[in-house]
Structure 1
Amino acid sequence: MAFGRVVRRRGGIEVRLRGEEREVLRAVLGQLRTAIEADAEDPALRRLFPPAYENDAEKEAGYRALAQHELLESRLQALAAVEASLDSKRLDDDGAAAWLRSLNALRLVLGTRLDVTEEDDHEIDPTDPDAPAWYLYYFLSGLVDDLVGALSD
């Protein structure tokens, strides 16, 4: 699914996105930030913060009390790094890792909202009310794939 929009070049990782693609990312990153800051109990966001102790409510509550703030801050810092570098044409490895983490978080939340399964590699019906979300999901998936490839090179 690679688009070739993120590639390793001498001197860093090159991001080849059009202006409108960057604006879409800016908008959805802002929406994710707002959602994380507002309600970590949103079912779609639970995908980003899975339980550590699924079968032990007491241990899970203890873990959340200790780790939840740090988990949230880590996500928000990665989002801030991406937002700050969104207009950049080149990233270092740390910047690319923040992009990977944040874009994959967007993909996971959107996939949860769309109820994506492993079998969901289908043609998008342009008349489907969810078509724009599906296009975004596949766009994010391609960027994540490109980032993984660039970081692996």
Structure 2
Amino acid sequence: MPGHFEPRPGGGASITLDEVEISILRSLAVQLMELIGPGEEPVEGADPLAALFAEGPSEPPSDPALARLFPDAYGGPDAHQGDESAKAASSEFRRFTENDLRTRKRDDAHDMVRALDALSPGPGGSAELTLDPRRSARWLGALNDLRLTIGTRLEVGDDDEGAGLYRLPDSDPRKPMVMAYLWLGVLQETLVETLMPS
């Protein structure tokens, strides 16, 4: 089966990607970074210790994809109806964790872009990507974030995994996004398998 990760001796993973696959993955990773946002630039001369304790937002994002990437810590949005203590706890948790989580997710996607940019497709138009165990974990995070984002845009529920999406006609404008979602699922699944001990 083409386009899946294989384990490497000593840890890590490798995959052969063609130019189209490289381009699609890179484009998706860049779009993910744009969705997450640029992050806060440190103020010149600012106290680095104070930056460690910088507070983030206390409210969940209004964009459904961002809300999926940065969910409430205590239940979902509907769980807070009438439960002010859960809402307050979620807000407090978000204030002190979301900035770091955004940074990590952005860094994972940026690592994906850097790795793809370093590839040089050969005469056949494909290149082998090799990831060490640390980079494999970063890619796994980025693939998961991409699938969550696309799944949210496609309105894939937790229960159905979008069963109806498999039967979309080719003329449906969502079809390319569905194909990307399914392909990312294969990449994610095979990368997980390479990280599992034999």
TM above 0.5:
yes
Specify the alignment match of 1:69 in structure 2.
99
The 3-state SS of whatever aligns with 1:89 is: strand
Structure 1, 119-128 or 88-97: larger mean CA deviation: 119-128
Runs of 4+ in 1 over 2 A off after TM superposition: 9-12, 38-41, 119-124
- The equivalences for 1:40-79 within 5 A come to 40-54=61-75, 55=80, 56-79=86-109
User: Could you say which structure has the higher helix fraction?
Assistant: 1
In structure 1, list runs of 5 or more residues that go unmatched.
Answer: none
Alpha carbon RMSD of aligned pairs, Å? 2.1
The 3-state SS of whatever aligns with 2:37 is: helix
CA deviations on 1:53-102 (whole Å, 9 max, x unpaired) are 23322111111111111111111111122111123621101111111110
Residue 4 of structure 1: how far off its partner (Å): 5.5
Q: Does the 8 A contact of 1:75 with 1:102 survive in 2?
A: yes
Identity of aligned residues (%): 32
Cα separation, partners in 2 of 1:14 and 1:43, compared to 1, 3 Å: same
Measure the CA separation in 1 of the matches of 2:100 and 2:3. Answer: 34
Specify the alignment match of 1:120 in structure 2.
162
Specify the alignment match of 2:140 in structure 1.
100
In structure 2, list runs of 5 or more residues that go unmatched.
Answer: 39-59, 81-85, 120-127
- Asked whether 1:84 is paired with 2:126, we answer no
TM-score with structure 1 length normalisation? 0.89
TM-score with structure 2 length normalisation? 0.70
Cα separation, partners in 2 of 1:89 and 1:119, compared to 1, 3 Å: closer
Name the count of aligned residue pairs: 152
Specify the alignment match of 1:138 in structure 2.
182
Q: Does the 8 A contact of 1:3 with 1:143 survive in 2?
A: no
Q: AA paired with 2:7?
A: R
Measure the CA separation in 1 of the matches of 2:108 and 2:19. Answer: 21
Residue 9 of structure 1: how far off its partner (Å): 2.3
- Bigger Rg, structure 1 or 2: 2
Specify the alignment match of 2:51 in structure 1.
none
Specify the alignment match of 1:27 in structure 2.
27
Structure 1, 109-118 or 2-11: larger mean CA deviation: 2-11
